[in-house]
C-alpha cells in the first residue's frame, strides 16, 4: 500500500493498489462526509445534487474509499467514465509527463501532437473503413452540439430528429434533444428550435415490435411530420443510457441508418455512454454492424479527464469552414495524453473481453434475482452496461419508489448503484472494467438482500 502525505494528513493513493474489498466502518455517509456535505450545501448551487453524499478520498480497481475510511464497491464508474479504473497507473504516468511539459496552448493557436494522435486513433477505431476526420471538445454535450452544427453545415438543412427516452446532455441544444423533463429540462426553456422527436424501439414496453417495425413507425412519422428535405440529422444512442439502458430490437438501428443514407440525412450515433469497450465491443454500433456517418464519444475516452470527440466521414466533417469549429480547451493536451493511454489500455489490456466476462457474471446474478422476484421485470444490456427494470408484477407498471428504496439501502451497505430510466425504475450497472468478479458478485448479493427486504 502506498501512502503519500498531503497537507500534513496521511492520504491514501488511488489506483488498483487500493484494498479491493467492501468495508463499511461508519454510517453512510460518515461524519466527515456529513460535515463536507453541509459545507457543500452552503457553497454549491442547490441544482448540483449528489445522489450518494459520501466524499471521496481515493479510488481504483473496483472500489471507492471515502474520507471516513469506508470502502464502497463502484458499480457506476462515475457514469461509465473510468472504464480503465480510477487513477490507472498508465494514465497517471501519461498525465504526469504531459503536465510537466505543458498544460495548454489552445490547439487552434498552436498545435501539439497529442491532439492529432487522438484523432488518428479515433479515425482508425470507430466503425467503418471510410476516410474520417475528428474534432475534439470537452464534454459529451459540447460534442453533440458540434455534431449537429457539422451536419447542418454539410446538408444545408436544419431539422434534427432525436428519439423517445433519448439523453444527449444539458446545454440548450442538447436539452432540446433530451427527452425527459425532470430533472434535465424542467424550468430551463425555451429550448433550441428545429428539434423533433420520434418513437424508439423499447422491446420490454412496445408490445414486441420488431426492429424493422419500430423503425418503420419512426420513419413514417419523420416523413409525415418533418420531411427528409428539411432534415439535417438523426441522432440516436445505440443503447439508450439515461433513458433506461434500452437495447433496441435487432434491425432498428440499421433500418433507420439505411433510410438516412437514402435520403441525404446524416446519421449520428451518440456513443458517449456506450463507447470504448463498455458494451463488450469497442463501440456499441459494432454489435449491429452499424456504420454511423458521425459518431460522438466522451465519457470513457480519457480515464476520467474531460474530453469528447466528433468523428465522421471526411466529406461531412470537412464541410465546415476553417475556424468554424473549436473552443479554448477542446482537446486539452493533458486530456489527450490521458486518452492515448486510455485507448491503448482498451486495446491491449483485454478490456473488451473483460466487459464480456462482466456481462456473463451480471446475467447470471441478475437472472437469479429475476427468477425469485417477479418485481425484476427485465434484465437487459450489453457487456458492462447492464440494468434491471423494477415493476409491479401484476401490471408491469414502473415502480420508481421501490427503485429508490433499494438503491439507498444498497448505498448504506457500501455499494454505489445508479438509477436511470424515463420512469425512474431502472437500476444500472456500469462497473469499471477493472473490477474483480468477487467484488461484482458481492455487490449484486447486497442488491439481492436489500431487494428482498424492500
Ligand atoms: C452523458 C451523456 C451525454 C452528455 O455528456 P456530458 O459530458 O455530461 O455533457 C450525452 N450523450 C449521452 C448518451 C450521455 O450518456
Domain shared by 355 and 343, yes or no: no
What's residue 12's pLDDT?
87
Instruction: Count CA within 13 A, CB hemisphere, residue 99.
Output: 8
Which runs of consecutive H residues, i.e. helices, occur in 318-436? 333-348, 351-372, 400-412
Closest atom of ligand 1 to 242 CA is 15
Q: Does 79 reside within a domain?
A: no
CB of 125 within 6 A of ligand 1: the answer is no
At residue 284, the 3 state secondary structure works out as: helix
Q: Return the C-alpha cell found at 225.
A: 411530420
Q: Does 19 reside within a domain?
A: no
Tell me the residue range of the domain where 398 lies. Answer: 31-74+350-452
Q: What's 165's domain CATH number?
A: 3.40.640.10
Domain shared by 123 and 54, yes or no: no
Q: Does 7 reside within a domain?
A: no
Residue 271 in contact with residue 291, Cβ under 8 Å? no
SS (H, E, C) 38-105: HHHHHHCCCCCCCCCCCCEEEEECCEEEECCCCEEEECCHHHHCCCCCCCCHHHHHHHHHHHHHCCCC
Domain shared by 282 and 157, yes or no: yes
Pocket test for ligand 1, best of 79, 141, 304 (most atoms within 8 A of CB): 141
Tens of pLDDT, residue by residue over 61-85, are: 999 999 999 999 999 999 999 999 9
CA-based R_g, the chain, Å: 22
What's residue 8's pLDDT?
44
Tens of pLDDT, residue by residue over 384-402, are: 999 999 999 999 999 999 9
CB of 297 within 6 A of ligand 1: the answer is no
Domain count, the chain: 2
Domain shared by 299 and 356, yes or no: no
Sites in the chain below the pLDDT cut of 70: 1-10
CB of 238 within 6 A of ligand 1: the answer is no
Q: Does 85 reside within a domain?
A: no
CB of 164 within 6 A of ligand 1: the answer is no
Closest atom of ligand 1 to 299 CA is 7
At residue 392, the 3 state secondary structure works out as: coil
Closest atom of ligand 1 to 174 CA is 10
Instruction: Count CA within 13 A, CB hemisphere, residue 275.
Output: 27
Indicate the helix (H) or strand (E) that contains 391: none
* Residues 6 or more apart whose Cβ sits within 8 Å of residue 251: 210, 211, 212, 215
Q: What's 371's domain CATH number?
A: 3.90.1150.10
Residue 115 in contact with residue 332, Cβ under 8 Å? no
CB of 298 within 6 A of ligand 1: the answer is yes
CA 60/CA 85 separation, integer angstroms: 6
Give 103 Cα–ligand 1 centroid separation in angstroms: 25
Q: Does 373 reside within a domain?
A: yes
CA 177/CA 162 separation, integer angstroms: 6
Give 272 Cα–ligand 1 centroid separation in angstroms: 6
For 148, 160, 162, 168, 172, the CA distances from 189, given in Å and listed in that order, are 19, 18, 17, 16, 8
Residue 278 in contact with residue 238, Cβ under 8 Å? no
Closest atom of ligand 1 to 298 CA is 7
Domain shared by 127 and 265, yes or no: yes
**What is the end-to-end Cα distance of the chain in Å, rounded?**
38
Sheet architecture: strand order including 132-137: 132-137, 308-313, 294-297, 266-270, 231-236, 159-163, 195-198
Last residue of a domain, one of 309, 328, 348: 348
CB of 143 within 6 A of ligand 1: the answer is no
Closest by CA to 295, choosing from 281, 277, 309, 280, is: 309
The conformation of residue 321, written as its DSSP 8-state character, comes to P
Q: Does 23 reside within a domain?
A: no
What's residue 9's pLDDT?
56
Amino acid at each position: 500500500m502506498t501512502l503519500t502525505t498531503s497537507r500534513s494528513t496521511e492520504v491514501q493513493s488511488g489506483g488498483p493498489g487500493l484494498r479491493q474489498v467492501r468495508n463499511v466502518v461508519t454510517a453512510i455517509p460518515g461524519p466527515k462526509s456529513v460535515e463536507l456535505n453541509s459545507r457543500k450545501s452552503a457553497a454549491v448551487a442547490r441544482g448540483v445534487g449528489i445522489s450518494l453524499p459520501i466524499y471521496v478520498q481515493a479510488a481504483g480497481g473496483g472500489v471507492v474509499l471515502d474520507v471516513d475510511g469506508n470502502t464502497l464497491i463502484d458499480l457506476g464508474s462515475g457514469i461509465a467514465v473510468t472504464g480503465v479504473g480510477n487513477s490507472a497507473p498508465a494514465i497517471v504516468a501519461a498525465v504526469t509527463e504531459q503536465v510537466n511539459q505543458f498544460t495548454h496552448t489552445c490547439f487552434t493557436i498552436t498545435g501539439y501532437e497529442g491532439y492529432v494522435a487522438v484523432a488518428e486513433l479515433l479515425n482508425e477505431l470507430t466503425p467503418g473503413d471510410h476516410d474520417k476526420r475528428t474534432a475534439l471538445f470537452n464534454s459529451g454535450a459540447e460534442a453533440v452540439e458540434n455534431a449537429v452544427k457539422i451536419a447542418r453545415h454539410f446538408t444545408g438543412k436544419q431539422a434534427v430528429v432525436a428519439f423517445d427516452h433519448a439523453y444527449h446532455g444539458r446545454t440548450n441544444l442538447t436539452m432540446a434533444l433530451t427527452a425527459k423533463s425532470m430533472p434535465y429540462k424542467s424550468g430551463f426553456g425555451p429550448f433550441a428550435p428545429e428539434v423533433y422527436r420520434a418513437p424508439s424501439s423499447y422491446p420490454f414496453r412496445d408490445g414486441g415490435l420488431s426492429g424493422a417495425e419500430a423503425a418503420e413507425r419512426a420513419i413514417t412519422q419523420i416523413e409525415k411530420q418533418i420531411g427528409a428535405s428539411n432534415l439535417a440529422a438523426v441522432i440516436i444512442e445505440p443503447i439508450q443510457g439515461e433513458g433506461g439502458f434500452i437495447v433496441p430490437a435487432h434491425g432498428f438501428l440499421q433500418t433507420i441508418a439505411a433510410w438516412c443514407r437514402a435520403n441525404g440525412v446524416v446519421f449520428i450515433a451518440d456513443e458517449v455512454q456506450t463507447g470504448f469497450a463498455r458494451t463488450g465491443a469497442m463501440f456499441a454500433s459494432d454489435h449491429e454492424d452499424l456504420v454511423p456517418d458521425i459518431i460522438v464519444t466522451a465519457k470513457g475516452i480519457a480515464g476520467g479527464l474531460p474530453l469528447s470527440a466528433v468523428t465522421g466521414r471526411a466529406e461531412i466533417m470537412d464541410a465546415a469552414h476553417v475556424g468554424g469549429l473549436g473552443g479554448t480547451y477542446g482537446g486539452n493536451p493533458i486530456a489527450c495524453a490521458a486518452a492515448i493511454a486510455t485507448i491503448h489500455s482498451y486495446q491491449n489490456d483485454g478490456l473488451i473481453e473483460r466487459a464480456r466476462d462482466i456481462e456473463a457474471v451480471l446475467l447470471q446474478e441478475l437472472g437469479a434475482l429475476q427468477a425469485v422476484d417477479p418485481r425484476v421485470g427485465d434484465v437487459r444490456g450489453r457487456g458492462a452496461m447492464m440494468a434491471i427494470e423494477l415493476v409491479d408484477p401484476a401490471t408491469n407498471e414502473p415502480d420508481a419508489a421501490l427503485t429508490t428504496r433499494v438503491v439507498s439501502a444498497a448505498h448504506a451497505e457500501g455499494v454505489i448503484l445508479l438509477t436511470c430510466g424515463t420512469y425512474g425504475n431502472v437500476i444500472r450497472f456500469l462497473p469499471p472494467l477493472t473490477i474483480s468478479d468477487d467484488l461484482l458478485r458481492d455487490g449484486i448479493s447486497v442488491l439481492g438482500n436489500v431487494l428482498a427486504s424492500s
